[in-house]
C-alpha cells in the first residue's frame, strides 16, 4: 500500500469505456507521484463493468457498491475510504473527464496557498471540441438561484485566465481539503444526483471556506455521458433538487418569490408539448413538496 495523501475518486455506472480513458489520463501522475492513489467506485453497473475493470493493468482501487447510490452516495463511499486512509485532499473527478498530467499538481498548489481555500476547480474544456470551454468556475443567478457555468460554449481566448473565487466548483472536477469534509460533512445523499456539488460548496462557504477557480489546471469533459441532458432522469432531479437547493441556501426573498411562482410554473408546464419536460418537472415539484428525496425510479 502506497503512502497516500491525495486520493482521486471516480464513479462508474455503465460507462466502462469512459472510465478507462479517465484512468489512463491519471496514470502518468500516479506513476510519478507515490502519494497519489485512485479509487473507482462502481455503482452497481449492469454492463459487466466490474469484470472489465478488474482485468485492467492500471493502478487503482476498485470498490463495488451493491446498489446504485447515485453521484452523492457513490462519491461518499470513496471519500470515506480515502479519509480512513489519511487523505489530506480528495479530487472528485467525473468518469467522462480526462486530465492533463500537471492538473493535479497545479490544483493542489493552489489549494494549499491559503487556509481559507477549501475547494479548487480547473478550467474545463469540452472533450473533442478544440479550445471550447465547458466551465471556468460556477456562479449563481441571484434572481432564481440557478447555477451557471462561466464561459460555457465560448472559445477560450484567455478571457478567463485569472484565478478567482467563485460561488461553486462543478462536480466534474473538484479538489477538496480533508478538513472541509470534517467540518461541513460529505455530499448530501438526499439529492442523489445534481446540485450536490453546489450544495457542498455553499455549505463550505457558510463555514468560512473559499471556492477557487484555477485556470492553469485543465480538464477535458464529455458532459452528460452517463445521465443524458434533457432525459427524464435529468429533468426530474434538477427540478426537485433546485427547489431543495433554494430552500437550503437562498435568501428569504428568493425563497418566497420562487415558491409563490409555483402555480405559474405548473400552469406553463401543462401547456408544454414536450411530454418528458411536462411529466418529470411536475413530478419533481410534487416530490419536493411531499419531501420525497433520495433516489426515485419513475423511468
Last residue of a domain, one of 170, 196, 221: 221
Residue 285 domain flag = yes
215 plus 263 within the same structural domain: no
Q: Does 45 share its domain with 119? A: yes
Tell me how far apart the alpha carbons of residues 206 and 46 are, in angstroms, rounded to a whole number. Answer: 39
Q: Which domain holds residue 34?
A: 6-221
Cα 152 from chain centre: 16
Same-domain pairing of 20 and 135: yes
Q: Does 128 reside within a domain?
A: yes
One domain for residues 70 and 163:
yes
Q: What is the mean pLDDT of residues 36-42?
A: 98
- Examine the domain organization and report whether 82 and 153 are in the same domain: yes
Q: Please state the rounded mean pLDDT for residues 199-209.
A: 98
In a shared domain, residues 96 and 123: yes
Quick one: 199 and 73 in the same domain?
yes
Q: Per the domain annotation, does 299 fall within a domain?
A: no
Q: Which of 201, 221, 241 lies at the terminal end of a domain, its last residue?
A: 221
Q: What is the pLDDT of residues 106-117, one digit of tens each?
A: 999 999 999 999
- Report pLDDT for 230: 84
Answer yes or no: are the C-beta atoms of 17 and 48 closer than 8 Å: no
DSSP assigned state of 33: -
Residue 229: the pLDDT is 82
Residue 189 has pLDDT above 50, yes or no: yes
The yes-or-no verdict on residue 233 having pLDDT over 70 is yes
Which of 192, 221, 250 represents a domain boundary (last residue)? 221
Q: Name the percent of the chain lying above pLDDT 90.
A: 92
d(CA 281, CA 265): 10
Residue 64 phi/psi, 5° resolution? Answer: -105, 115
Does residue 226 form part of some domain?
Answer: no
258 belongs to a structural domain: yes
**Spatial separation of the C-alpha atoms in residues 15 and 76, rounded to whole Å:** 19
Q: Are residues 175 and 138 in the same domain?
A: yes
Average pLDDT score over the chain: 95
Asked whether residue 24 is assigned to any structural domain, the reply reads: yes
Torsions phi, psi for 93 (to 5 deg): -135, 130
And the C-alpha cell for 20? 478507462
Q: Are residues 280 and 158 in the same domain?
A: no
Q: Read off the pLDDT of residues 251-270 as tens digits, 9 standing for 90 and up.
A: 999 999 999 999 999 999 99
Residue 226 pLDDT > 70, yes or no?
Answer: no
Same domain, 120 and 195: yes
Domain match, 169 and 124 both? yes
Whether 13 maps to a domain, the answer reads yes
Q: Which residues contact 289 (CB under 8 A, 6 or more apart)?
A: none
* pLDDT reported for residue 1: 45
Q: What is the pLDDT of residues 112-164, one digit of tens each?
A: 999 999 999 999 999 989 899 999 999 999 889 999 999 999 999 999 999 99
User: Any idea which of 65-69, 166-170, 181-185, 227-231 has the lowest mean pLDDT?
Assistant: 227-231
Query: Residue 244's pLDDT band (boundaries 50, 70, 90)?
Result: very high
Q: Span 72-89, mean pLDDT?
A: 98
**CATH code: domain of residue 110:** 3.90.550.60
Please report how the helices 262-270 and 275-289 are oriented relative to each other, as an axis angle in degrees rounded to 10: 150
* 118 and 144, same domain (yes or no): yes
Q: Say how many domains are in the chain.
A: 2
Residues 90-107 pLDDT 10s: 999 999 999 999 999 999
Q: Are 159 and 183 in contact (CB under 8 A)?
A: no
Residue 295 lies in a domain: no
**Predicted pLDDT of residue 228:** 78
What are 37-40's contacts with CB under 8 Å, separation 24+? 37/2, 37/4, 37/6, 37/7, 37/8, 37/61, 37/82, 38/7, 38/8, 38/10, 39/7, 39/8, 39/9, 39/10, 39/63, 39/78, 39/81, 39/82, 40/10, 40/11, 40/12, 40/95
Which residues, other chains included, contact 259 with Cβ-Cβ below 8 Å and sequence gap of 6+? none
**Confidence class for position 225, pLDDT limits 50, 70, 90:** low
Write down the pLDDT at residue 65. 98
Amino acid at each position: 500500500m502506497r503512502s497516500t495523501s491525495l486520493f482521486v475518486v471516480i464513479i462508474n455506472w455503465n460507462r466502462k469505456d469512459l472510465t478507462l480513458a479517465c484512468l489512463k489520463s491519471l496514470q502518468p501522475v500516479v506513476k510519478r507521484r507515490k502519494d497519489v492513489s485512485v479509487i473507482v467506485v462502481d455503482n452497481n453497473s449492469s454492463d459487466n463493468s466490474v469484470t472489465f475493470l478488474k482485468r485492467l493493468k492500471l493502478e487503482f482501487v476498485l470498490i463495488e457498491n451493491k446498489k446504485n447510490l447515485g453521484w452523492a452516495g457513490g462519491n461518499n463511499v470513496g471519500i470515506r475510504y480515502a479519509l480512513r486512509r489519511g487523505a489530506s485532499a480528495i479530487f472528485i473527478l467525473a468518469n467522462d473527464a480526462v486530465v492533463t498530467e500537471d492538473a493535479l499538481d497545479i490544483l493542489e498548489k493552489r489549494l494549499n496557498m491559503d487556509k481559507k481555500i477549501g475547494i479548487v476547480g480547473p478550467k474545463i474544456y469540452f472533450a473533442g471540441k478544440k479550445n471550447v470551454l465547458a466551465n471556468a468556475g460556477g456562479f449563481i443567478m441571484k434572481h432564481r438561484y440557478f447555477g451557471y457555468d462561466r464561459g460555457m460554449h465560448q472559445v477560450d481566448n484567455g478571457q478567463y485566465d485569472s484565478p478567482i473565487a467563485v460561488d461553486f466548483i462543478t462536480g466534474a472536477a473538484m479538489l477538496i481539503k480533508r478538513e472541509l469534509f470534517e467540518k461541513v460533512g460529505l455530499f448530501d445523499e438526499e439529492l442523489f444526483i445534481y446540485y450536490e456539488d453546489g450544495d457542498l460548496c455553499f455549505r463550505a462557504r457558510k463555514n468560512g471556506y473559499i471556492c477557487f477557480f484555477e485556470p492553469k489546471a485543465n480538464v477535458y469533459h464529455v458532459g452528460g455521458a452517463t445521465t443524458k441532458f434533457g432525459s427524464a432522469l435529468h429533468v426530474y432531479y434538477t427540478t426537485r433538487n433546485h427547489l431543495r437547493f433554494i430552500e437550503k441556501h437562498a435568501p428569504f426573498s428568493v425563497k418566497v418569490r420562487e415558491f409563490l411562482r409555483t402555480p405559474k410554473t405548473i400552469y406553463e408546464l401543462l401547456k408544454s408539448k414536450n411530454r418528458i419536460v411536462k411529466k418529470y418537472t411536475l413530478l419533481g415539484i410534487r416530490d419536493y413538496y411531499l419531501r420525497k428525496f433520495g433516489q426515485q425510479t419513475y423511468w
